[in-house]
Structures are given as C-alpha cells and as structure tokens.
Amino acid sequence: MVDPRIYDMFREIGRDLYTANMISSHGGNLSIRLGDRVIIKRRGAMLGNLKQHDLIETRLDKNDSGVALASTELLVHRTVYLNTPALAICHCHPRTAVAFSLSRDEIVPIDNEASYLLKKIPVITEEFASGTPQMANKVAEALTNYKIIMLRGHGSFAIGQTLDDAFFWSSTLEEACQIMLFTKQINEPFIEYRGMSDSYSKF
Amino acid sequence: MALIKLFANLRKIAGTKETSIMGASVGAVVSGLVKRYPALEASLLVRSPGGLPGNGQIRSHVIITLNGNPITDLNLVVTEEDQIAIFPPMAGG
Amino acid sequence: MNGWNGKILEIDLTTQTHKEYPLDMEMAKQFIGGRGLGARLLWDLVGPEVDPLSPENVLIFTNGPLTATGYQTSNRFSVTTKSPLTGTVLDANSGGFWGMQFKKTGYDVLIVRGKSPKPVWIEIKDSVVAINDASELWGMRVYAITEKLGQNNNKRNVLCIGPAGENLSRIAAIMNDRERAAARGGPGAVMGSKNLKAIVVEGSTRPEVDDKERYKFLMYETKKLLAASPLTSQALPEFGTVVLMNIMNNIGALATRNHQQTQFEGAEAISGEELTEKYLVKNASCWACPIGCTRISKTEKVEGEGPEFETTWAFGAQCGVDDLPAIIEVNSLCNDLGLDTISAGSTIACAMELSEKGYLDSDLRFGRADMLAGCVEDMAYRRDLGAELADGSLRLATKYGHPELSMSTKGLEFPAYDPRGLQGQGLLYATSNRGGCHMRGNMIGLEVLGLPKLIDRFQVQGKSAFVILHQNSNAAIDSLVVCKFTNMGVADEYFARVLGAVTGIPYATGELIKVGERVWNLERLYNNREGFTPKDDSLPPRLLTEAPTDGPSKGWVSHLEPMLKEYYRTRGWDENGVPTPKKLADLGLNKLVSGG
C-alpha cells in the first residue's frame, strides 16, 4: 500500500488531467521516483478515478512489485529515470497539442506563459509506440534536453522534480496549443509582443 | 482568534508585526488579514476579479506556517491556540 | 577558443619558478571548470600520503568557461585543495571580482605548489608573472593588505590571507576583494603553509563567445527570469540572506546553543528584519550580478560587507547571543583576520558547551556576546584559549574528551539548519564530500520554501533522490562557475544552453547535470582513497538520538540510517558507499581507478 499522501497527490492530478480533457478514461500515466524505487499507475486503471490499489511500487531496475505488469509504459518511465534528472513523469494525451504534433516537428508557443516557461516543445516520432525499447530510448533522449516533449500523434511526456511540475508543463502546453488554435480561427495578423522571440525555436 | 505573525516586508506593508484574526480555516484567516490590512493584498494574493483564498489563490512562493509547519492546504482548521506565520518569498545561504 | 582560455599557469614556490601549459580540452569537456576541474586535477596531484599543510599539497584556483563573459553572476571562482580541517577534497567557492579578473589574465587554472622559503606574494598581469617578497607584508590584516596591494574592483584584484592563515588555523579563510571569502575547510591555512600572502591579478582578455546571438538571447531571458522571481528581485536584495533567520526559527530548525535546541528565543533580535531596519546602509553586488544580496552594515564601530545568514546564526543562535551589533562587529573582525565565520562561531559554541559542562576551563558561556571578538582575535593569533579553538570544534572537543559535542560531519561544522527539523538536510550533511555543508545541495528550497513545491520535511523514504539531484546540479553549477542564487530563478536548462552558446559545445540539460554527477563521484573516489568510510557519513549522536523537547520539531531525530542506505543504492554505489564499476563506467571515471 502506497503512502496515503502520495496516493492523494496522484489521485488529484489524475482527476485534474481527466477533467481538463488531457486524457481519455484509461490512457496516460503518472509516476514518481522515490530513491531507487518507482510508483506508477497500474495497467488498466483510470487516471481520473484512481484507487489506492491502482498505484504500484516497484524497484527502478526491475519489477519486484508482485504485480504482473505495472503498465505497458513502465519501460519508458524507467528509461527516463535512469537517463535523465527526472523525479516525476506525467504522460498524457493533450488533444490540441496532439493535433499540432501531426503537422510540425516542434511546437513553438505564442502565448506569454508557455513562451516564458517552455520556449519550444520538440516533436519526436515512433510508430510502435508503447513499451518498446526504441521508443523508450527516444523519449528519454529527448527529455535529457527538454522538460516536455511530444510523441507525434500520441501525447506528451513531461518531467520534473515533483508531479506538480510535470503536470504544470503538460497543462501549460495544452493551454498554449489551444491558444494557438484560436489564433488560427481568429486569423488576424500576429502582433509580436515578446523580445527576441525568433530565438525560441532555437532553444 | 488565531495569532498571525508577519515577516520581512509584509511588516512594513501592514504596519504591524503581529495581529489576531478570527477564522475557521487558514484560508479564512488570511482573508480576514487582507480585509484588515488591504495593502497586503498585492503581496499575498493573486490578482483575480472574484474570490479570496480558500481555493488556492495565495501567490505562489508565499510561505505560510501553521504552528511552525509549512503548509499549502488553506482548508486546514484553525483554533484559538494556533499560530500562523506568513513570509514573503525568500531564500538564502 | 571559446569560453575557456585553454591555459594553465603553474607556480612552484619552492623553486620560485613558473610555467604555463595547455589545458587538456578533453578533461575540460568532462569537468568544465571551477570545482569539477579542480577536483580532477587534485586527483592527479595530491594523494593520501600528503599532509594538507605540507609543501606537497597544492592550491588550485579555477575559473570556468562562463567566467568573465558578462553572463549574470559569471564572477565566481573555486579554490581546490586537500582540506587541513577535514582531510577531504575541498573546494571553497567565492564571489566578488577576483575570479572575473583572473579569467581575464588569460588562464583557466592556477596551480600553486611547494613552499616558498620566505613570505611572498604573486602578481599576475596578463601573462607576466612575478613572485615578490612579502616579508614587509606578512602579519598584515586583510583590509590593510588589500588596500596596500592596490585593490580596484574592476581592474586589479587582491586575494590574500590574514593572520589566521599565516598562523595555520585550520579554519582560516582565503579572502578576496576585501570581504569575500573562500573559507570553508580552512584553505587559508594551506596558503599560509606555503608562505604565500597574496595573489593579485590584472587582466585584459575577455573570453570569446561562440554563438553570440544565442548567448544574447539567453542573457535576455535570464534577466527576465531573475526580475520575475520574487526571491532574486525582492527578498534577497531587500533583506539579504539573513531573511532566513525568522523562518528557520519559526519552523523549529534553527540550531541553537550548539544544537541543544531548535529554536532561539532571540531570533527576532538577530533577524534580517532587524538588520534592515537598524543597521543596513545599502545592498551591494558582485560583478555582473543583478540580484544584489550583499549587505553593507554599519554599527558604531564598523562598516562593511555582511553579515550573511550563516554568520549571524553561528555567532548568534548557535552561541546563544542576541546582540546583533556585536555579531556585525565580529563578522567584520573575522573578515579582517581571515577566518571562516561558520566554523569560528560554531567552534566557540562548542567551547561554550564544554565550559558550561565543566570539561573545559574557561569563562565562555552561551550568551557571552562580549567575549566573541576577543575569542576570534585569539583564534587568529593562537593565543590563550584561542589556540585551542583555532583548529575547529572537532579537534577541540576531542582534546577535552567529548568529540560528540562537535556539531560537524567529517570535521566541518554544520550551518544553521538543524537536521532534526529537516530530514533531507541531515542526509545532505552526512554525505557532502567536503563535510557538513549545505552548499552542496540545500534542501531548504524543497523542505521549507516550497521551491519548486513543498515536500514533507519529515518524510524519510524517497528523500535521497531529491538530495542527489540537488547535489549533482550544484556540483555542475560550481563548475561553470556561476552563483547558485541565479538558480533560484533560472533553471538548469538555461545554464546548459548558455554553456553551449559560449563554448560551441552543446550540452543537454541532463548532460550538464551528469557533469555534476561525475564531479560528485570523483570527489567520493578521492575521499575513499583518503580512507573515508561509511561511518564518516554520519551525524553527531545528538542529532540522531536527542529529540527537541518543544517546538515544531519536537520529538524528531534525524533518521539517517534508512535514508543513507537508500542514498547509496540510488547513487549506484555499493553498501560501502563505493561507486560501482558500472556507475564509474557510465560516468567515464573507470580509467581513473583502474590505473589506466
């Protein structure tokens, strides 16, 4: 049984992700690193409605949880923890960001918050998405240099010191993409308000 | 009435180091504090048209301790013997 | 060449000769500069057979590729040596202006070896090196010699020792630009043991930047970030670091009277608020720094830089003293004598407890503000009681039969944060490579201030991962070399990009932190080679077994053991705290240990 405070944190953020339309009923995942152990959502559980038993604790380098598979994405999470400074991972499917990922190799925000916090979000591709070492390595490599990245057509992976951070980047990304979508609908010339913004895509 | 202690530039802004405020929760007490010392609003609260704290509208990095324990949950119950300390964002070495 | 100068200057004081040679750029890529490069060079130069106060020890002054570029806070430098206080690898880090000027002389590294037969001072003007007679200067205090040798913040900078270093006090500081200090671990004594009084630098070469556009953009963003962070734009400039006094006291983590309590009833009287209200003249800053955390304080007797939080705590709460003017004055005295204020204050506190308990025969008692100044003077000159205190609290307490009363790890006295109120901080002290130090990875951000988010300060499981991340990150920042206060507003990903823009060598954020991990592991290897073992990764019994009886930390002791076990595993070390071959290979350190 996972510490109740940790469960509360997962449950609240899971619920927020679902109600913000950033995840479907059973998709996405959250995990944290506790020393040399990982806490992650069980396969098949619903982020928007997490129960205590939906969280699995396991060793970082191998599964000793006694549960068959914590998640098809456990490999990705482990690879990220072993290769980046991440202490928490938020993986979700922010729909506007996913839509934008289909037509570009990087998402460069135009709103203030995301410009300030994120600058640029790279988009990587891996067709055989879930659970393969190739995908895990690609995601981990991208996350060595960015705190949030997009997997084309699939969703975002964000890292931080706490789940709060990782959720924050994810939420900011989705907000940025929604705003970008609105500007396309509004379809009026963009008035640049940020200094040195041509450098964002080179971040 | 819980005892509220203010620190750093909050003292100058409010014009006092400490005061007593009635309130059932931490959020309610902070609301009451801002009502009594409106000048504190800019330092403590996120500028928003509606509402006062109780739903997370304290500015980030403001540090609130309840009987010496840093807290983030503004719904925590406050009793008469409790002491709340409020610090603006800070750091050091 | 971009960023680095690419040159090392080596001065041999025994033969009074010097030479220069190229910096190994492969090594530079792996260790960058500052602390990292210093540690790597020390590994080669100073082995376990070397006594820290012997001519075979070295002093390695390093700047980094970012130094003197003008990037925010790119003024700092490192001094690396084997510590005469702890026997561990030591890097002491200082700000001000000297580091910037040293970079401008055209060198990345200055290695000082041997021992001069007579007192000397070194002058480096670009590549012209002079070793000058210092017999008239020996004995001078820091302020006097700094002025005498022509200190001018932007043009000519003096680094020196005072009487404490000359008299080989193991807690002596190296001072620069009058009141900046590279102090922890006693590097001043190493300099004194070499008969080296001062190093003066004047330079004219600004470093080259590879991608100027990108560099300008990153400086612009840094400026925005520092202005937006309330810590760097308001709290630090307005109140300085002493702003922490009241909050640490409020949460019951302010070590008091030699860690006998965790709250001090006189905290308000020595707080940042009190300092700002009554004694502050203005704030000041180091070169290229927009933050301005330096205090200029004034009492009836003195006016000068400081005091910092740790100093105010060490001579304040730790000694049971609530007399702020007395603390301001003793801070100024320590700067003039060249003494580490944390170790000095905490050693006096230890002596106070030893005296109160009857183990040491002296008049020192907690609260004796009137005795502080006399004490530090005597310490610097090794007079009377001062002679007992001059080598730190562990040697003092051991001599009088009670080593457990030294509040230190590996002999380095702790700073203010009491581990019984902050579990993560206790683990940090126990595992820091230079001894009980908070600058290796301060946990108060997470455990107190909510940066980036508040975590439970009493939680034990999982803490090690945070401590490790911060230790690695700080080691990287110490290798750039920039000020960690920048990190309050600017995330590591910016530093990685600035490093890339300046040097032309791309570093991913994770790679930069990995440099920090590499440095950390190398420092660990160094200490292991010196004979340190897991039992040295410890805290005094008081912190492990004596819980505070009141205050918010009531009932809590430091639960070091489970945290330490988890720490070793998470670091990829075996249960003896030795980096495994796999970890070393991953960091590229395996050749160092296999003798390849």
Class of domain C237-413 as given by CATH: mainly alpha
CA distance C147 to C221: 38
For residue C177, the one-letter residue type is: D
Residues C583 and C572 sit within 8 Å (Cβ to Cβ): yes
CA distance C109 to C86: 24
Contact check, Cβ <8 Å, B90/C236: yes
Measured CA angle at C402 (ends C399, C406), to 5 deg: 90
CA distance C186 to C171: 4
Residues in B touching C442 (Cβ below 8 Å): 93
CA distance C553 to C450: 18
Higher-pLDDT residue of C350, B63: C350
The segment(s) of chain C belonging to CATH 1.10.599.10 are 423-594
- Which of A40-44, B78-82, C421-425, C591-595 is the least confident region? C591-595
Q: Considering only CA atoms, which of A157, A174, A167 is closest in space to residue A73? A: A157
Binning pLDDT at 50, 70 and 90, where does residue B91 land?
A: low
- Supply the CATH classification number for the domain A4-187: 3.40.225.10
Contact check, Cβ <8 Å, A162/C452: yes
Whether the per-residue pLDDT at C594 is higher than 90: the answer is: no
The segment(s) of chain C belonging to CATH 3.60.9.10 are 7-202
Residue A104 corresponds to which tokens in the numbers above? 């570009």
Residue C201 corresponds to which tokens in the numbers above? 């630098």
Residues C383 and C349 sit within 8 Å (Cβ to Cβ): no
3-state per-residue secondary structure call for chain B: CEEEEECCHHHHHHCCCEEEECCCEHHHHHHHHHHHCHHHHHHHECCCCCCCCCCCCECCCCEEEECCEEECCCCCECCCCCEEEEECCCCCC
If contacts are CB pairs under 8 Å, which of residues 206-225 in chain C contact chain A? 213-214, 216-217, 220-221, 224
Chains B and A touch (3+ CB pairs under 8 A): no
ipTM above 0.90, yes or no: yes
Binning pLDDT at 50, 70 and 90, where does residue C175 land?
A: very high
- Global pTM reads 0.95
Give me the pLDDT at residue B51, please.
43
- C524-543 CB burial, b ≥16 within 10 A, e <16: bbbbbebebebebbbbbebb
Residues in B touching C448 (Cβ below 8 Å): 63, 70
Residues C517 and C475 sit within 8 Å (Cβ to Cβ): yes
Query: Is the domain defined by C7-202 classed in CATH 3.40.50.620?
Result: no
- Which of A127-131, C8-12, C238-242, C459-463 is the least confident region? A127-131
* Helix, coil or strand: residue A121: strand
pLDDT tens digit at each of 203 positions of chain A:
788 889 999 999 999 999 999 999 999 999 999 999 999 998 889 999 999 999 999 988 887 877 766 566 788 999 999 999 999 999 999 999 999 999 999 999 999 999 999 999 999 998 776 678 999 999 999 999 999 999 999 999 999 999 999 999 999 999 999 999 999 999 999 999 999 999 999 99
* Helix, coil or strand: residue C301: coil
Among candidates A35, A144, A146 on the partner chain, residue whose Cβ is nearest the Cβ of C461: A35
- C167-199 CB burial, b ≥16 within 10 A, e <16: bbbbbbbbbbbbbbbbbbbbbbbbbbbbbbbbb
Q: For residue A131, with 0-12 CB atoms within 10 Å meaning exposed, 13-18 middle and 19 or more buried, which class applies?
A: middle
CA distance A40 to chain C (A): 14
* Helix, coil or strand: residue C208: coil
The segment(s) of chain C belonging to CATH 1.10.569.10 are 237-413
Among candidates B70, B72, B92 on the partner chain, residue whose Cβ is nearest the Cβ of C251: B70
Tens of pLDDT along B37-72? 999 888 887 754 444 443 446 776 788 999 999 888
Contact check, Cβ <8 Å, C509/A203: no
Tens of pLDDT along C286-308? 999 999 999 999 999 999 999 99
Class of domain C423-594 as given by CATH: mainly alpha
**First CA to last CA across chain B, in angstroms?**
35
Measured CA angle at C341 (ends C398, C246), to 5 deg: 105
Query: Is the domain defined by B2-87 classed in CATH 3.10.20.30?
Result: yes
Number of A to C CB contacts under 8 A, please give it: 73
- Mean pLDDT of the residues in chain C: 96
- Which of A151-155, C145-149, C229-233, C383-387 is the least confident region? C229-233
Binning pLDDT at 50, 70 and 90, where does residue C595 land?
A: low
Q: Considering only CA atoms, which of C414, C412, C381, C430 is closest in space to residue C559? A: C430
Among candidates A145, A162, A203 on the partner chain, residue whose Cβ is nearest the Cβ of C455: A162
Among candidates B67, B85, B89 on the partner chain, residue whose Cβ is nearest the Cβ of C235: B89
- C260-274 CB burial, b ≥16 within 10 A, e <16: bbbbbebbbebbbbb
Helices (H), C441-508: 444, 463-480, 492-503
CA distance C102 to C110: 9
Average pLDDT over residues C435-458: 85
CA distance C478 to C93: 8
Binning pLDDT at 50, 70 and 90, where does residue C181 land?
A: very high
Tens of pLDDT along C25-46? 999 999 999 999 999 999 999 9
CA distance B33 to B4: 8
Give me the pLDDT at residue C505, please.
97
Higher-pLDDT residue of C215, B49: C215
CA distance C351 to C362: 8
